Amino acid sequence: MVWLCLSLWCCALPAMARRGGGFSQPEWLGSTTETVRITKVEFTDTATVVSFHERYKPGWWIQISKEAVLRGEDGREYRALRGEGITLGAHYVTPESGEGQFKVLFEPMPRKTRFFDFIEGRAEGAIRIMGVHQAGRDIRVPEPDSLFCMTEELTQQFLQDGTITVEGRIEGYAPSQGYATMQCTRFNPMTGETLPLTVYIREDGRFEFSYPAYHPEQGLLLIEGKDVRRMVPYYAVPGQESRLVLRADGGVDYEAAPEGPFARRRSLEFDFASLCYAYSHEEYVADRDSLDFKAFADRTMRKMDKALRLADYVAWRFGYTPWERHLAECYTRMMHGMEVFNYEMDKKGEVTQRLIGGEKLDWEKEMAPFAEKENYGFMRRMPVRAASCLMFWDSHIFLNRYEYSPVLPSCGLLSAEQVLQADSALLAVDCELTGSDRPSLFGRLVLLRALYNDLKRNYCELPERMDSVFQGRYALLDREEFRAQADRIYTAARNRCSATYPLPDMAGTALLRRLTDKYRGKYLLIDFWGMSCGPCRAGIQNSLEMRRALRNHPDVDFLFINAEGESSEAAYRQFVEQYLEGEDVQQVTRDEFNSLMELFAFLGIPHYETLDRNGYVVRDGMHYEKDADIFRANQLNRLKEALEP
C-alpha cells in the first residue's frame, strides 16, 4: 500500500511541474490601449502564455509585433515565440461580433514572477500594458533616492534661449518611398506662437534642422509619404545638439542626447507620455455626460492619483533620473487638468450649439458653474509654477484652455487703464485658484499670451493704445525672460504694419511664383484645401455660385492648391468636376505643400492668402462671402480702396 502511494506520487511529479502558476485574474497599473486586455497569464516550463481579449470595430484590424516582449520584474526581456489564434506581425481582423480572443506564447518566466510589463515595441502606437499582476496583490514601488527641485537657479537655466539643433538619419530610407521632407512644428507656449518648419531629407536619409528656442523642447516630426504617416518625437536643448536614428521599426535611438541638468536618456528610450492617462475616451464621455463640473473635477483628480502611481512605477522600472521622474509627474498632472478644462470647453460648446439651434437658454446661468472659483480646486494640484512644463507641446494647449476659461476675468478692446485693471484682477484670481500669495508662472504667461494676441491683431490700427497696454503688462511680467519675449513680440508687431509684404526668399517661393505669376495685374485669392478637410469642402461648395458670378472678372481670380494622395483619385476628380469646374486647381506633392505651409506660416487647412496686383502678400486678405455682390463690396473694393492710390 505504501509502495502504491509512493508510485502514484512520483508519477504525479511531472504533471505538477508542467502545471505551473500564473495570474487567473490579472490587473495592471496602466495601458496604452482601450481595445486589448489581458485575461489570463500562465507560467509553464516551456512558455509564459498570455491570453488576450480584443474588442474593436468588426472588420478592422490590430497587430501584435514579432518584437513583443514581457519585461520581468528582474528587468530581463522575454521574447515572443508564437501566437495562437493570431499570427505575430500580421493583421488580426476583428470578428463580426466585435470581440476576439487569442494567445501569445513567450519565453518562460520564473514561476514566482509577481509582476511584468507587456511591451509590444517602441514604435508609435505600440501596445504597452504596464505592471501586470494578480488581482489583490499590489506592486510596491520603492521611494526614490532623491527628488528633483526646480530651484530659481535651475529655472533661469531652463529659460535660457538659444538655437536648437537636430541631426539625424532614417534607416532604410529611399526617395521612392514618396517623401523628401518632414514637417516640424515650432511652438512657443509662453506667447502661443506656432510655426511650421520644413525639414529636407537627403537621398541617403540624413537630415538636419535648427531654429531659435527659449527652453528645452520635446517636439514632433511628421512624416507623410505614399504608404507612411508617422509621428517622430525628439528632445532638444538650446545650445546642444541632438542626433537621432529613426529606426525602420518606428523607434528612435539617440546617438547624442542633451547633457547637463536637463539631460534625458532612459525616458527617451521609454517615454511616459503615452501611459499617463487614467481616462479612456469612453470613460471621459460617460463622466462628462453624467457628472456636474465639480464632481467631474474631483473624479479626474482621483484618476490622476492612479496615473501618478503609474508614473512612479515607470520611473522606477526604467531607471529614470530625478529630472525625468519630475517631468513624468508634471506631465501627468497637467494632462489630467487638461481633461477638466476639456469638460469645460465641451459644455460651453454644447450650450452654444443649443442656442444656435433655437433653444431658449440663459447663457449666464448655464455658464455659472464655470465662473465659480471654488470649483477649481484641482488647480492647486497642477504644476503651474514649474517652468519645466513648457517643454511639452501640451503646455501650449493647457495654457490656451486656462486663458480662455470663464473663471478668469477677460477684457475686450478697452482703454489701457481698464486693461491694467482686468489684468490685475486676473492675477488675483490666479492666486486664489493656485493657493498662493503670488501669481503662478502660468498666470503671468496668460498675460504674455494676451499681449501677443492684442499686438498682433490691433497694433497697426491702434498703436498708441497698444503702446500703453504693452507698458502696463510689461510691468506685471516680473521675470526678465518674460520681458524679453514681450520686447520681441512688440518689435515684431510694429514691423508688421505695412498693408502688403513681398514674399520672403524661401523654398516655397519659386513654386508659388510659378503658380501665380500669370495672375499679375489681378487680386488673387488662394485657397489651400484638402479632400480630408470638411470645412475646406464646405467653403468651396458654398462659394460656388459666388465664384461663377465672378468668372472672368478683370480684377480678381481664384487659385486652389491641395496636396496629392489625400483621397482616392476618383473621389477627388468627382469633387473637382462638381464644385471647381473651370477653376485653376493645382495639386502639388506633399513635400511641396509643406514648403508652402512654411512660406505662409500656417499649420492647418482651410487657409486663405491674397496676392495683390504686383504679387505681394496682402496682410488682411480676402475670404469668401455669401454672394458676388457682397464679395465685391466687402472684399475686393475694400482692398482696392486701401491699396490703390
Q: Could you tell me which of 366, 345, 346 has the C-alpha nearest to residue 355?
A: 366
Higher-confidence residue of 71 and 644: namely 71
DSSP state of 634: I
Where along the chain do its domains lie? Answer: 21-134, 154-263, 292-494, 500-643
Per-residue confidence (pLDDT) for residue 4, from 0 to 100: 40
Per-residue confidence (pLDDT) for residue 5, from 0 to 100: 44
Under CATH, which number does the domain 21-134 receive?
2.60.40
Per-residue confidence (pLDDT) for residue 124, from 0 to 100: 74
DSSP state of 623: -
Mean pLDDT of 526-533: 94
Per-residue confidence (pLDDT) for residue 161, from 0 to 100: 93
Q: Could you tell me which of 52, 54, 44 has the C-alpha nearest to residue 118?
A: 52
DSSP state of 122: S
Q: Could you tell me which of 412, 374, 386, 453 has the C-alpha nearest to residue 149?
A: 386
Q: What is the CB-side half-sphere exposure of residue 536 using CA atoms within 13 A? A: 21
Q: Domain 154-263 belongs to what topology?
A: Immunoglobulin-like (2.60.40)
Higher-confidence residue of 130 and 20: namely 130
Strand-pairing partners, residue 200, are: 181
CA quadruple 30, 33, 37, 38: dihedral sign: negative
Q: Could you tell me which of 88, 98, 87, 89 has the C-alpha nearest to residue 59?
A: 98
Rounded Cα distance, 442 and 384, in Å: 5
Answer whether residue 199 shows pLDDT above 60.
Answer: yes
* Residue 63 main-chain phi, psi, to 5 deg: -150, 135
Per-residue confidence (pLDDT) for residue 271, from 0 to 100: 86
Per-residue confidence (pLDDT) for residue 416, from 0 to 100: 82
> Residue 249 has which C-alpha cell?
521599426
* Residue 99 main-chain phi, psi, to 5 deg: -140, 145
Which band of pLDDT confidence, cut at 50, 70 and 90, is reported for residue 1?
very low
Strand-pairing partners, residue 205, are: none
Mean pLDDT of 632-644: 92
Say yes or no: do domains 154-263 and 500-643 share a fold: no
- B/e letters for 413-441, b = 16+ CB within 10 Å, e = fewer, are eeebeebbebbeebbebbeebbeeeebbb
Rounded Cα distance, 520 and 506, in Å: 20
Answer whether residue 553 shows pLDDT above 90.
Answer: yes
Which band of pLDDT confidence, cut at 50, 70 and 90, is reported for residue 2?
very low
Q: Could you tell me which of 420, 309, 327, 433 has the C-alpha nearest to residue 380?
A: 433
Q: Could you tell me which of 271, 330, 307, 364 has the C-alpha nearest to residue 149?
A: 330
Per-residue confidence (pLDDT) for residue 14, from 0 to 100: 39
Strand-pairing partners, residue 49, are: 42, 105
Task: Determine how many CB atoms are found less than 10 A away from the CB of residue 582.
Answer: 9
Which band of pLDDT confidence, cut at 50, 70 and 90, is reported for residue 275?
confident
Answer whether residue 20 shows pLDDT above 70.
Answer: no
Instruction: Share the mean pLDDT of the chain.
Output: 91
The separation between CA 392 and the C-alpha centre of its own chain, rounded to angstroms, equals 9
Per-residue confidence (pLDDT) for residue 636, from 0 to 100: 93
In DSSP notation, 134-199 reads ETT-PPPPPPPS------HHHHHHHT--EEEEEEEEETT--GGGS-SEEEEEEEETTTTEEEEEEE
- B/e letters for 462-490, b = 16+ CB within 10 Å, e = fewer, are eeebbebbbebbbebbebebbeebbebbb
Share of the chain above pLDDT 70, in %: 96
Which residues touch 358 (CB under 8 Å, ≥6 apart)? none
Helix locations, 238-321, DSSP H: 266-269, 281-290, 293-317
Q: Could you tell me which of 402, 381, 379, 398 has the C-alpha nearest to residue 389?
A: 398
Answer whether residue 355 shows pLDDT above 60.
Answer: yes
Q: What is the CB-side half-sphere exposure of residue 458 using CA atoms within 13 A? A: 19
Which band of pLDDT confidence, cut at 50, 70 and 90, is reported for residue 411?
low
Mean pLDDT of 606-635: 93
**Please, are residues 259 and 265 in contact by the beta-carbon 8 Å criterion?**
no
Under CATH, which number does the domain 500-643 receive?
3.40.30.10
Which band of pLDDT confidence, cut at 50, 70 and 90, is reported for residue 408?
very high
Rg value, the chain, Cα: 29
Per-residue confidence (pLDDT) for residue 6, from 0 to 100: 41
Per-residue confidence (pLDDT) for residue 567, from 0 to 100: 81
Rounded Cα distance, 61 and 165, in Å: 39
